[in-house]
């Protein structure tokens, strides 16, 4: 279901700690919810590797060599108006 993904640290305004965010590209024609994806990650990763924020994207930014440009994804996070696209796992669990 997931074609490619990128995990990286992001800052959290309320905490001095960094949080983990995962951006994923879903295979065309496939369907998965944030809850289903989170449950899969929770079952298959160590607890400290499970990201707090999830976001599905149509594509990930890449350079000419097809490497994912995580710095662009981090800049998107710094733009607070774009944060509404991210699924906050902890906020949904409370």
Average pLDDT over the chain reads 92
Across 65-83, b (16+ Cβ under 10 Å) vs e yields eeebebeebeebbeeeeeb
> Does residue 77 surpass a pLDDT of 90?
yes
Cα-based distances in Å from 94 to 8, 88, 90, 91: 24, 11, 6, 6
- Put the strands of the sheet holding 2-11 in their side by side order: 2-11, 18-26, 53-57, 87-88
Predicted model pTM: 0.90
Q: Is the predicted pLDDT of residue 16 greater than 80, yes or no?
A: no
| Domains, the chain, ordered by start | 2-93 (3.30.300.30)
Cα 6 to chain centroid distance, Å, stands at: 7
- At residue 14, the pLDDT reads 72
């Amino acid at each position: 279901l997931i074609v490619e993904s990128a995990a990286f640290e992001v800052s959290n305004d309320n905490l001095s700690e960094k949080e983990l965010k995962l951006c994923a590209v879903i295979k065309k024609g496939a369907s998965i919810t944030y809850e289903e994806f989170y449950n899969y990650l929770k079952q298959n990763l160590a607890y400290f590797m499970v990201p707090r924020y999830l976001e599905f994207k149509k594509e990930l930014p890449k350079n000419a060599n097809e490497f994912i440009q995580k710095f662009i994804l981090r800049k998107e996070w710094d733009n607070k108006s774009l944060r509404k696209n991210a699924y906050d796992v902890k906020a949904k669990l409370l």
